């Protein structure tokens, strides 16, 4: 009976793993317009020309090498997306996409994972040693096709592959979001999470993932009945007595 019970447990664990592999969950995070909606998006821009100013309340964000004669860079982050009923830690991330609606198209941009903490309500150009995002970004990738010939102003949602960052965060790395930096003087503007509800799209993060498989059920170790233990004790005592007599 023990063998059959253990076989059943192993089969149950295998079926559970198969079900896990066959399932995936897709969640989208975007600041809503109603009480109780997701509200964990942080986004802002920083400018070299006004190095101590905070722009966390802006409804549009600019990334430009010449924004009124200064450099402007942008930051995005989605807080409170891991744990609980959201994305479990240790999940396998299938795909993750950061969607930003372009308000004004322009030159290519560069994006990288932030390596330093920040808060949209207080961050400034000088927050990062007075040099903007230089030195606080991980490896950069280029975002192309942002010029006016490739997108429709005020309509296009530009989708950015951020799967690698989401997987790193699911594995335990700190989620500091992303930084976007310009490559030219024809800047790109995006609608921010503070944008009013007028038909435009606030930043959104869409994640496909598989939660870690559940742990196998505990092994059912059946303890012998008391009567069985008594018989086993008598048997051991008998064997011990026989060995003593034989030794004499």
Angstrom CA distances, 141 to 74, 132, 160, 187, stand at 15, 18, 10, 17
Under the banding of pLDDT at 50, 70 and 90, the label for residue 113 is: very high
Q: What pLDDT digit, counting tens, does each position of 206-245 carry? A: 999 999 988 788 876 555 566 654 555 555 455 545 444 4
**pLDDT reported for residue 84:** 81
Lowest mean per-residue pLDDT among 90-99, 107-116, 228-237: 228-237
Residue 18 has pLDDT above 50, yes or no: no
* Residue listed under structure tokens 């048997």: 235
Q: What pLDDT digit, counting tens, does each position of 172-187 carry? A: 999 999 999 999 999 9
Question: What is the three-state SS of 202-216?
Answer: CCEEEEEEECCCCCC
Give the pTM.
Answer: 0.78
**pLDDT reported for residue 7:** 27
Domains (range + CATH), the chain: 22-210 (2.60.120)
What does the pLDDT average to over 73-79?
98
- Strands (DSSP E) contained in the chain are 25-29, 41-47, 60-67, 70-78, 92-104, 109-113, 141-143, 157-161, 178-182, 188-191, 204-210
Cα distance from N-terminal residue to C-terminal residue, the chain: 42
* Residue listed under structure tokens 């008391």: 226
- Which of the two residues, 149 and 87, has the higher pLDDT score? 87
Under the banding of pLDDT at 50, 70 and 90, the label for residue 90 is: very high
Under the banding of pLDDT at 50, 70 and 90, the label for residue 19 is: very low
C-alpha span between 116 and 136 (Å, rounded): 6
Residue 142 has pLDDT above 80, yes or no: yes
**pLDDT, mean over the chain:** 84
Lowest mean per-residue pLDDT among 59-63, 113-117, 232-236: 232-236
């Amino acid at each position: 009976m023990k063998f059959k019970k253990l076989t059943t447990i192993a089969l149950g664990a295998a079926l559970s793993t198969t079900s896990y592999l066959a399932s995936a969950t897709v969640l989208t995070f975007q600041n809503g317009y109603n009480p109780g909606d997701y509200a964990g998006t942080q986004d802002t821009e920083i400018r070299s020309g006004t190095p101590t100013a905070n722009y966390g309340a802006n409804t549009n964000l600019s990334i430009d090498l010449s924004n009124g004669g200064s450099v402007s860079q942008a930051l995005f982050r989605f807080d409170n997306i891991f744990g609980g009923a959201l994305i479990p830690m240790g999940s396998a991330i299938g795909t993750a996409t950061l969607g930003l609606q372009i308000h004004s198209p322009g030159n290519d941009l560069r994006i990288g994972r932030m390596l330093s903490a920040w808060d949209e309500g207080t961050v400034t150009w000088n927050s990062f040693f007075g040099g903007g995002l230089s030195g606080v970004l991980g490896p950069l990738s280029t975002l192309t096709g942002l010029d006016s010939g490739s997108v429709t102003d005020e309509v296009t949602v530009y989708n950015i592959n951020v799967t690698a960052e989401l997987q790193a965060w699911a594995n335990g790395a700190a989620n500091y979001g992303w930084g976007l930096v310009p490559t030219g003087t024809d800047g790109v503007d995006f609608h921010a999470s503070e944008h009013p509800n007028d038909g435009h799209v606030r930043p959104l993060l869409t994640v496909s993932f598989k939660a870690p498989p559940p742990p196998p059920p505990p092994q059912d170790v059946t303890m012998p009945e008391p009567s069985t233990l008594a018989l086993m004790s008598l048997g051991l005592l008998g064997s011990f007595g026989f060995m003593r007599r034989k030794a004499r």
